[in-house]
């Protein structure tokens, strides 16, 4: 039997190839054997992050699945056009897919409040960011959780810590214009109720979190508005502080559950402001149903509304005292309130309240003849 030359190139190549095949086989086998456990750990980690946004932290791994099932009541996934994706599982939507798909979780938080949890994704200084923000029916944040791929330890990585995340609790998501205003600003510069202080020395990471929250929640608000759903995010966009009906062109006061009055209440389907003792600012709200407040006086058609003729601002309404020939118009200013209404000639208007084409004051049939005006 011939002796194998272990020093030859052929032997070296064959030996290396065999070892590579064996090692690859073993790694594939181990990976396959461990995959169920790995997937289970990833699933538990994601559930723990969602629970953290619900203010449930520090649970043992074995307790997380049961608590998740207890608090998450319903989920849904929408596309960018607001279409609900049938049979889609919100939990299975990966972070990289957010923005194309919009998963939402209807849940109850640790305090028993009904909230909607919105998954978000963004970009930090060194890598990706993601998080979960829980919003209640009043449009305020009840809990938040943020994480990162590779932000700097002791700086940007602090977004994962409770002190930073706790700053979001109680903050309103929306500004007075009904748009998302929640944001992260430079440490120490937060002034508005919707502003959160960033992390000292981590300007870019803090900015990334701010952009993720601001643009991410606005995207959800837009998608859910298209869907016509009833999430906390969408409802509050329509009714934040109720200073006016929602700003969207297709949203009118006459629609149910839209904002009607300054006091924060919502009008009924007819926008009946009288029942709320505050006048609706929108044209859709009939002035006749409003109280004699300033918005009522300025509303289109207010001058002719019952009980509104003497309201401040009536004279400025379209078709009222300043309109040509309106001195005695029904429902407008009372007779005598608009004395010395002049025609272009400088003469007082005739009893008919009409100025003829020549600029003089004429009666029907005078055809511009000044002499035809006669006695007043």
Most confident listed range (178-192, 290-304, 322-336, 350-364): 178-192
Is the pLDDT at 98 greater than 70? The verdict is yes
Q: Which two tokens stand for residue 184?
A: 């992260």
Q: Collect all residues with Cβ–Cβ distance below 8 Å to 54 and sequence separation of at least 6.
A: 71, 107, 108, 109, 110, 115, 117, 134, 142, 143
d(CA 78, CA 84): 4
Position with higher pLDDT, 234 vs 150: 150
Position with higher pLDDT, 336 vs 118: 118
Q: How buried is 30 (Cβ within 10 angstroms: 0-12 exposed, 13-18 middle, 19+ buried)?
A: exposed
CB atoms within 10 A of CB 197: 15
Mean pLDDT (whole number) for 53-71: 96
Mean pLDDT (whole number) for 100-104: 96
Query: DSSP class of residue 106?
Result: E
Mean pLDDT (whole number) for 305-318: 40
CA atoms within 13 A on the CB side of 320: 25
pLDDT tens-place string over residues 238-261: 343 333 333 433 333 333 334 444
Most confident listed range (11-20, 203-212, 252-261, 354-363): 203-212
Q: Among 97-101, 150-154, 176-180, which is the least confidently predicted range?
A: 176-180
Q: Collect all residues with Cβ–Cβ distance below 8 Å to 222 and sequence separation of at least 6.
A: none
Q: Collect all residues with Cβ–Cβ distance below 8 Å to 207 and sequence separation of at least 6.
A: 184, 198
- Give the start-end residues of each E strand in 150-232: 183-185, 195-197
pLDDT tens-place string over residues 312-361: 334 443 444 443 333 333 333 333 333 334 444 444 455 455 555 455 55
Confidence of residue 228 (pLDDT cuts 50, 70, 90): confident
The confidence score (pLDDT) of residue 237 equals 40
d(CA 150, CA 112): 34
The confidence score (pLDDT) of residue 210 equals 97
d(CA 50, CA 132): 6
d(CA 242, CA 122): 31
- Read off the pTM: 0.58
Length of the chain counted residue by residue: 376
CA atoms within 13 A on the CB side of 252: 9
DSSP annotation string for 304-370: GSTT-TTSTTGGGSTTSTTSTT-TT-TTSSPTTTTTT-B-TTSPBPPTT--B-TTSSB--TT-TT-G
Mean pLDDT (whole number) for 268-293: 41
């Amino acid at each position: 039997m011939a002796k194998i030359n272990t020093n030859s190139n052929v032997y070296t190549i064959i030996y290396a190839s065999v070892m590579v095949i064996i090692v690859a086989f073993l790694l594939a086998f181990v990976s396959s054997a461990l995959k169920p456990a790995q997937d289970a750990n990833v699933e538990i980690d994601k559930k723990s992050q969602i629970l953290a946004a619900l203010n449930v932290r520090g649970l043992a791994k074995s307790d997380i699945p049961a608590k998740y099932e207890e608090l998450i009541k319903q989920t849904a996934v929408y596309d960018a056009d607001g279409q609900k994706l049938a049979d889609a599982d919100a939990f299975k939507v990966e972070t990289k897919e957010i923005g194309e798909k919009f998963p939402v979780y209807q849940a109850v938080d640790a305090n028993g409040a009904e909230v909607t949890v919105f998954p978000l994704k963004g970009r930090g200084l060194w890598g990706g960011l993601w998080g979960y923000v829980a919003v209640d029916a009043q449009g305020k944040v009840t809990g938040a959780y943020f994480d990162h791929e590779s932000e700097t330890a002791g700086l940007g990585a602090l977004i994962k810590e409770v002190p930073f995340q706790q700053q979001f609790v109680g903050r309103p998501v929306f500004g007075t214009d009904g748009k998302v205003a929640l944001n992260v600003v430079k440490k120490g510069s937060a002034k508005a109720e919707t502003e959160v202080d960033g992390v000292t020395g981590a300007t870019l990471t803090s900015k990334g979190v701010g952009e993720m929250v601001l643009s991410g929640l606005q995207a959800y608000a837009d998608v859910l508005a298209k869907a016509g759903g009833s999430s906390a995010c969408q409802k509050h966009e329509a009714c934040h502080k109720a200073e006016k009906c929602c700003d969207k062109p297709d949203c009118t006061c006459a629609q149910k559950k839209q904002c009607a009055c300054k006091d924060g209440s919502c009008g009924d389907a007819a926008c009946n402001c009288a029942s709320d003792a505050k006048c609706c600012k929108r044209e859709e709200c009939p002035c006749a149903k409003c109280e004699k407040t300033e918005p009522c006086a300025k509303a289109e058609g207010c001058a002719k509304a019952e009980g509104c003729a003497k309201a401040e601002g009536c004279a400025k309404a379209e078709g009222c005292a300043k309109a040509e020939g309106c001195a005695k118009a029904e429902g407008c200013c009372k007779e005598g309130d608009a004395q010395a209404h002049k025609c272009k000639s400088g003469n007082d208007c005739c009893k008919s309240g009409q100025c003829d084409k020549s600029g003089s004051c004429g009666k029907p049939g005078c055809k511009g003849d000044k002499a035809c005006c006669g006695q007043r």
